[in-house]
Structure 1
Amino acid sequence: MSRASLMKTATPQLIAEVRMYETASGGRTGPAYSGWRCPCMVSQETPLIGFDALPLIGGEPLLPGETRSLGFVFLLPEEAVPAIRMAGRFFLWEGRFVAEAIVRS
């Protein structure tokens, strides 16, 4: 299955309120589009512990500074979902922290 097909049909394994950091605060320099993949880190402390995920962005790009409720699909959901739910908050990584998220369900 292609990533585009997955994005259209995937059932979220976790839902979170995501706040993208402003570009001036170290966030992305441009929007995140449907199909964007990023590690989700359970904290900002080293060693970094994270899980590969596809945020289900949908048709409208996610802009720096924007806050939106998003579903997430993880490469290893049996490990990622319990760890992230326990943390209650996680951080999206793209060579640096570009967003933070609060688990909703």
Structure 2
Amino acid sequence: MPNIVAKIRFLSTAEGGRSQALPSDTFGCPVFFEGIPELSSHGYDCRILISEVPEPVQPGDEVEKVRMLFLSPDEVLTQVRLGARFTLWEGKTIAYGEVIGIDME
């Protein structure tokens, strides 16, 4: 399934991030890409495969390599590039990330 691999830093609770750890299997939220005109008009629904991360993800943690799936992969993956930066949204910004890999298969 097409996806991106990302490095994500979740904001700590003190920085305005989540107050609890992420669910242990998948986590869904909108992602907003920066600096990509074709993707900057709105957020895109994604699923982050937290189950592939060995430890629970707490507020303030950085995840070095996690896969993200999109409900509209054809729209997102044709425009996103390595190094693209993004934010994750859950009623507020909860994380910042960078695309470090793209898998079109």
TM range (shorter): 0.7 to 0.9
- Determine which structure has the larger strand proportion and give its number: 2
TM-score by length of 1: 0.77
- Matching residue within 14, 30, 33 for 1:42: 33
What is the identity percentage for the equivalent residue pairs of Structure 1 and Structure 2? 34
CA contact (8 A) 1:42 1:83 kept: no
- 1:81 corresponds to which letter in structure 2? L
RMSD of aligned Cα (Å): 2.2
The aligned counterpart of 1:72 is 68
* Bigger relative contact order (CA 8 A; separation at least 6): 2
Moved over 4 A (4+): none
Q: Structure 2 regions of 5+ residues with no counterpart?
A: 35-39
2:10 counterpart residue number: 20
How many residues matched? 93
Q: Pick the aligned partner of 1:90 from 60, 65, 86.
A: 86
Q: Distance in 2 between matches of 1:14 and 1:86?
A: 9
Structure with a larger share of its residues in helix? 1
Alignment of 1:81 onto 2:77: yes
Structure 1 regions of 5+ residues with no counterpart?
1-10
